[in-house]
Structure formats: structure tokens, C-alpha cells
């Protein structure tokens, strides 16, 4: 094994990969789920995505290649759209021949928090907002709805490229940035996400009683003359919280779907809705 | 209306494309809004596809694979919502309910794969140890091929081969049942939102949920963008607030550290 002095490693830094190759790392990050299994989640795909880069780094060092491949076959599970940052960062360290235990430790320290940020941003904030808006356009048969949805996600696909460059260029510095900001970002994303979910409940859960009750000669429309007078969309809100309460009791989501259908069919049979 | 063999094949091909995307989560064309639109295009009824896409997307808005649970599969749900609505001439909203069994079937197939693909790991490990990059890359194609083919086969059988029995079933459904399915299609988004809440809702965020709900109930507007902006306003306020707080906290720590140092010096 050849050992390198500090100055040598610094001179070498970021010299063997072209800009295009780093961009391709961002694209290749889409492969992380290719061999997903519960046992080690993204590990095989994660290794596959980075493999050509290690082949370049360890061209004359089969032992090094075997070592880095084995290291990366350990369990990893993070947020797919944020993998480019992690991969760029790890690649810059691998290229600098940072101690493998250090790289492994960093990888294991980062993927969990990054999964948290990624889920908060992509699934719980962007998805309800973009899905909600484009679905409301599509509902009337307007093809702009799906087009809007597609374009937004095409953009998000593209963001993997600058994210890979970001991770690669920042190198170890990215770690502090991620750790400093992860809490605030998921906090802020939660605020935005929950506001939107509140709006989605009001706009898109459709529950209206059609039953009319006779009370002393007068006929009362329960929905319009009672529930809507208390607060509009009262039923959808209450029903979501009923389901939420059931979920908190660890009831399987499949049961919630069954409960929903049972309720709807019973309501239809009774003629209440 | 009937689905021709060619249409069945096209649907199967589309299911493979969208299914692979569902597996990798790259372009998000596996979401119902896209799946339904393309399926509608294949069947020659784009408008119905788009409408079904909007409705199904909402029904699935909160049913995300994040957080470890695998929801009913969006690709099969999207395809079958359009197919059932098209072949039986019923409203997409009613068809969503009838498409769910197919979506759950695909969900369970994927769950089996998630468990059984662990069987590939020893081979991956061996190739990694040998530094055999070529074989390692090739082996990754196998699970992807299995998943892609499964989507194609399940979609073809569900859309083309099962249309006869499906029609008999739909025709034999009494009105209260079809109306019940239609109602369920409208209520279904509640399940997804409840699941989102389970992951996201903490007591400190409840005000924002209420804010969004109240604003959307009061503003008669066809989509949630205005409310999203209200949410963004609060998010920005909170962002700067948190940043300031962090700075103050850092300063306090610094002062405390200095004080302690000073105190110790005094003591000595």
C-alpha cells in the first residue's frame, strides 16, 4: 500500500472526475432502490450507483475496490432524492483516500437524519401540495393538471444533478451544514405541510348528509341547517380524526380503507348520504 | 366498452414503465395522476383519464411509502380505475373502489419481493468481496427485471383478461352498492390524510392544521395554492425565528462557558 502525505492528497483533490461525471452521479443516484429488500434496504443499489467511480479511483488496486464495495453493502436507508448529496460527499472523501472507518462512520451518521429531512420535504410537503393542486386542476378534465405534476417532478429529478455537485464540492463541510439545518428544515416543512393538509381535508374529503329529519312538522336538512351552521366541513374533519385516532391505536391502514367503504356503503343503504 | 388485445398489451407496457419507476421512484410517473392520464390516452378517452387521475391522486395523497408502510400500489390502482370506468361506463369515482383489490394484490406482491430479495444479498456480498464490478452490476438488473415483468403481467391480466368477470360483477351490483362505492371514493382521501397526520402531527403543529382547515373552508377557491402560501408565510416567519433563537442559544452557551471558566479561575 502506498501511503500519501497530506500535501499530496490535497493536490489530488477533485482532479480525476469531470463535471459531467459528477452530474452523472446525480442521475445514477436513481438506482438506489434497484435491489431493495428489507434486510439491507438500499445497499446493493447504493453500491451499484457509485461503482463506476470507485472503479476509476481503484483502477490499479483490486483490494481497494473490494474493500469499498464490501463497506457499502452494509445497511443503508435514506431519502432517495437526497442521495446525490450523500454520494457526492462520500465520493470526495473516497477520492481523498480518507480512512475507511471514518467514511463508514459518517455515512451511518448521516443517512438517518437525511431520511428524516427528505421525507418531510418530499413526501409530506411537496407531494400533498403538488398532488393537491394538480389533482384539483385535473378533476375537471383539464390535461394541464397531469402536465403540471409531471413538470414539477421532472424538475425535482433534475435537482439531483446540482445536489451531487453540492455534496462533492462541499465534501466534509456538507456534514455540518446538514446537521445544523436538518432540525429547522423539517420543522419548517412540517408547518407548511400541515397547513396544506388542513386545507386538503376541507377541500377534498367529501362527506355530506342528505338526510332530512322531521321535527314537529318542520323538516330539517341536517347538513345545511345544522352541521354547516356549526362549521363547514365538520364531518370530513371529524372523520379524519377518527381515522387518525385508530392509526394511533396501531390499526393497520388496510382496515381504515375497509372502515371507509363499510361506512360509505351503510350510509348509501340507509339513504343518509 | 371492450378493451382490445392491443390495448391490453399497450396497458401492460405502460404498467412496466410506470412500475419500474414505482420501484426506483425516479420520475414519479407512477403516481395516479400520470398513470390514469396515460391509460386514458391508450383507451382513447383522455378526458376521462385525466378526471380519474385527479380523483385517484387525491385518494392516494397521503398514502405514501415513507415511514415504512407500503400502501396499495398506485400504478395498478390508476390503471384499473380508468379501465373499470371505461369498460363499465361508470363514474371514475365509483371505479376507484373497484380498482383497490388490484392495487392491494400488487402491494402484496411487492411486499413479498421486499422480503425475498434478501436472497440476492449473499451473492452481492460475494461479488463485492471479489471486487467483481461487472457481475455486481449485472445482478442488480435481476430484481429490476422481475419487478418490471410482474407489473406487466398483473396489469395485463387485470385489465384485459379480467374485464368479463368484472363487467358481470359491476352489472350485478345494486344501486345502493355502486352509490356506496361512489361515496367511498369521495371519502377515501381521509385515509391518506390521517396517515400523513400520524407521521407529522405533533401538538405544536396543530395550530397550523387548524389554520389550513379554516382558511380553506372560508375561501371559495378551486385549489389549495392560496392556503399553501399562507402556510409558507408562517413557515418563513418560523424559519427566521428559529435561526435567531439558535444564535441566541449559541451566545448563551458561550457566555456560560466563559462564566464557568471565570468562576473556576476565581476559585483558584
- The predicted complex's ipTM stands at 0.87
Q: Which residues of A touch B129 (CB under 8 A)?
A: 66, 69-70
pLDDT at B145 over 60: yes
Q: Where does the pLDDT of residue A121 fall: very low under 50, low under 70, confident under 90, or very high at 90 and above?
A: confident
pLDDT at A265 over 80: yes
CA distance B189 to chain A (A): 6
Check whether residue B167 and residue B231 sit in a common domain. no
Check whether residue B150 and residue B20 sit in a common domain. yes
Check whether residue A192 and residue A243 sit in a common domain. no
pLDDT digits (tens, 9 = 90+) for A175-206: 777 777 778 888 898 899 899 889 989 988 88
Check whether residue A191 and residue A261 sit in a common domain. no
pLDDT at B78 over 60: yes
Q: Where does the pLDDT of residue B39 fall: very low under 50, low under 70, confident under 90, or very high at 90 and above?
A: very high
Q: Which residues of A touch B139 (CB under 8 A)?
A: 35, 44
Partners of residue A212 on adjacent β-strands? A221
d(CA B28, CA B64): 12
pLDDT at residue A4 in the model: 45
pLDDT at residue A146 in the model: 97
pLDDT at residue B265 in the model: 53
pLDDT at residue B67 in the model: 56
Mean pLDDT over residues A107-131, rounded?
Answer: 87
Q: Which residues of A touch B183 (CB under 8 A)?
A: 206, 264-265, 267-268, 273
Q: Length of chain A, please?
A: 273
Do residues A37 and B115 touch, judged by C-beta distance below 8 A?
yes
d(CA A104, CA A261): 48
3-class DSSP assignment, residue A66: helix
- Residue A104 falls inside a structural domain: yes
Q: Which residues of B touch A51 (CB under 8 A)?
A: 133, 136-137
Cβ A37–B66 below 8 Å, yes or no? no
Of the three residues A152, A169, A202, the one that is the final residue of a domain is A202
Q: Which residues of A touch B238 (CB under 8 A)?
A: 187-188, 191
pLDDT at A55 over 60: yes
CA distance B248 to chain A (A): 15
Do residues B11 and B36 touch, judged by C-beta distance below 8 A?
no
**Nearby residues of B223 by Cβ (< 8 Å), 6 or more positions away:** A132, A133, A136, A137, A203
Check whether residue B207 and residue B191 sit in a common domain. no
Say which DSSP state A81 is in: G
* Strands A212-215 and A218-221, sheet pairing: antiparallel
More confident call, B15 vs B186: B15
Say which DSSP state A215 is in: E
Q: Where does the pLDDT of residue A24 fall: very low under 50, low under 70, confident under 90, or very high at 90 and above?
A: very high
The domain containing residue B243 runs over which residues? 202-268
Q: Length of chain B, please?
A: 268
Mean pLDDT over residues B49-67, rounded?
Answer: 84
Closest B-chain CA to A189: B235
pLDDT at A10 over 70: no
d(CA B146, CA A106): 33
B28: alpha, beta or left? (left if phi > 0; alpha if psi -120 to 50)? left
d(CA B129, CA A71): 10
Give chain A's domain count. 2
Do residues B78 and B60 touch, judged by C-beta distance below 8 A?
no
pLDDT at residue A25 in the model: 96
Cβ B213–A199 below 8 Å, yes or no? yes
pLDDT at residue B264 in the model: 53
Of the three residues B200, B230, B257, the one that is the final residue of a domain is B200
Give chain B's domain count. 2
Cβ A70–B129 below 8 Å, yes or no? yes
pLDDT at A5 over 70: no
pLDDT at A211 over 90: no
Q: Where does the pLDDT of residue A7 fall: very low under 50, low under 70, confident under 90, or very high at 90 and above?
A: very low
Cβ B124–A157 below 8 Å, yes or no? no
d(CA B41, CA B26): 22
Mean pLDDT over residues A117-140, rounded?
Answer: 87
Burial group, residue B177, by CB count within 10 angstroms (0-12, 13-18, 19+): middle
What proportion of chain A, given as a percentage, has pLDDT over 90? 54
Q: In whole angstroms, how far apart are CA B235 and each of A190, A220, B195, B243, B245?
A: 8, 43, 22, 12, 15
Mean pLDDT over residues B66-82, rounded?
Answer: 85
Amino acid at each position: 500500500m502506498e501511503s500519501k502525505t497530506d500535501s499530496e492528497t490535497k493536490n489530488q483533490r477533485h482532479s480525476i472526475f469531470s463535471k459531467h461525471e459528477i452530474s452523472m452521479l446525480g442521475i445514477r443516484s436513481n438506482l438506489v432502490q434497484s435491489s431493495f429488500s428489507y434486510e439491507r434496504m438500499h445497499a446493493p443499489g447504493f453500491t451499484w450507483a457509485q461503482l463506476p467511480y470507485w472503479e476509476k479511483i481503484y483502477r490499479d488496486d483490486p483490494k481497494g475496490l473490494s474493500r469499498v464495495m464490501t463497506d457499502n453493502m452494509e445497511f443503508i436507508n435514506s431519502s432517495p432524492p437526497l442521495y446525490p448529496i450523500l454520494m457526492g460527499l462520500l465520493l470526495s472523501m473516497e477520492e481523498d483516500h480518507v480512512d475507511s472507518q471514518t467514511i463508514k462512520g459518517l455515512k451511518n451518521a448521516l443517512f438517518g437524519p437525511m431520511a428524516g429531512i427528505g421525507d418531510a420535504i418530499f413526501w409530506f410537503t411537496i407531494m400533498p401540495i403538488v398532488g393537491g393542486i394538480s389533482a384539483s386542476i385535473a378533476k375537471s378534465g383539464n390535461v394541464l393538471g397531469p402536465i403540471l405534476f409531471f413538470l414539477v417532478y421532472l424538475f425535482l429529478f433534475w435537482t439531483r444533478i446540482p445536489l451531487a455537485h453540492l455534496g462533492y464540492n462541499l465534501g466534509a463541510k456538507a456534514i455540518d451544514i446538514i446537521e445544523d439545518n436538518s432540525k429547522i428544515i423539517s420543522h419548517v416543512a412540517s408547518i407548511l405541510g400541515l397547513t396544506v393538509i388542513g386545507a386538503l381535508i376541507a377541500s377534498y374529503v367529501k362527506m355530506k348528509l342528505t338526510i332530512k329529519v322531521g321535527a314537529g312538522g318542520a323538516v330539517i336538512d341536517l347538513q345545511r341547517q345544522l352541521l354547516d351552521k356549526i362549521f363547514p366541513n365538520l364531518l370530513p374533519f371529524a372523520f379524519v380524526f377518527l381515522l387518525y385516532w385508530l392509526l394511533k391505536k396501531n390499526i393497520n391502514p388496510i382496515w381504515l380503507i375497509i372502515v371507509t367503504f363499510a361506512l360509505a356503503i351503510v350510509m348509501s343503504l340507509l339513504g343518509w348520504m | 366498452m371492450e378493451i382490445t388485445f392491443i390495448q391490453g398489451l399497450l396497458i401492460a407496457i405502460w404498467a412496466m414503465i410506470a412500475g419500474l419507476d414505482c420501484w426506483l421512484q425516479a420520475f414519479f410517473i407512477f403516481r395516479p395522476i400520470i398513470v390514469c392520464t396515460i391509460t386514458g390516452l391508450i383507451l382513447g378517452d383522455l378526458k376521462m383519464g385525466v378526471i380519474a387521475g385527479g380523483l385517484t391522486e387525491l385518494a392516494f395523497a397521503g398514502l405514501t411509502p415513507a415511514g415504512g408502510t407500503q400502501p396499495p400500489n398506485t400504478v395498478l390502482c390508476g390503471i384499473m380505475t380508468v379501465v373499470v370506468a371505461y369498460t363499465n361506463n361508470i363514474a371514475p369515482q365509483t371505479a376507484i373502489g373497484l380498482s383497490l383489490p388490484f392495487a392491494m394484490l400488487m402491494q402484496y406482491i411487492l411486499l413479498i419481493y421486499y422480503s425475498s430479495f434478501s436472497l440476492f444479498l449473499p451473492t452481492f456480498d460475494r461479488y463485492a468481496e471479489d471486487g467483481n464490478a461487472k457481475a455486481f452490476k449485472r445482478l442488480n438488473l435481476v430484481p429490476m427485471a422481475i419487478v418490471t415483468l410482474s407489473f406487466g403481467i398483473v396489469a395485463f391480466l387485470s385489465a384485459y383478461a379480467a374485464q368479463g368477470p368484472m363487467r358481470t360483477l359491476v352489472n350485478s351490483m345494486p344501486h345502493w352498492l355502486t352509490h356506496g362505492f361512489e361515496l367511498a371514493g369521495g371519502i377515501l382521501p381521509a385515509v391518506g390524510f390521517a396517515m400523513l397526520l400520524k407521521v407529522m402531527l405533533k401538538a405544536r403543529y396543530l395550530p397550523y392544521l387548524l389554520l389550513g382547515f379554516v382558511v380553506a373552508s372560508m375561501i371559495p377557491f378551486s385549489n389549495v395554492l392560496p392556503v399553501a402560501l399562507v402556510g409558507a408565510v408562517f413557515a418563513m416567519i418560523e424559519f427566521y425565528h428559529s435561526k435567531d433563537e439558535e444564535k441566541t442559544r449559541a451566545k448563551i452557551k458561550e457566555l456560560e462557558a466563559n462564566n464557568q471558566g471565570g468562576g473556576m479561575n476565581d476559585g483558584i
